[in-house]
Amino acid sequence: MTVYVDSMRMPARVGRIQARWSHLTADSTEELLDFAAKLGLKPSWIQNPGHIWKEHFDVTDSKRELAIRLGAQPITMQEACTLWAAKREAARPATAVAPHT
């Protein structure tokens, strides 16, 4: 299992905080929540809860750097999109295929 932090660094204002923001995600919800707690992030701040392929926390540059120091794998935005696509595909229900006769 792995925790990832992407390189988005999008400038935005969230509430009173003007910063550059990236995404913190993981292979499982439990791992994401455990790691987020180490960063001081509240569980209620999770984005898209219940949808493992798109669950994440938005993190500022300072939290991104701390996440990397604590063991999160830094990834590019391209790698993040590939990861999310694979997780989305894995979450899809299996489609029944009729046998050929």
pLDDT, tens digit, 9 for 90 and up, residues 38-74: 999 999 999 999 888 899 999 999 999 999 999 999 9
pLDDT, tens digit, 9 for 90 and up, residues 8-32: 999 999 889 999 999 999 999 999 9
The set of residues, in sequence order, having a beta carbon less than 8 Å from that of 45 and lying 6+ positions away, is: 36, 57, 58
Paired residues of 26 in beta bridges: 3
Tell me the whole-structure pTM to 2 decimals. 0.83
Domain ranges of the chain: 3-91
Alpha-carbon distance 8 to 59, whole Å? 10
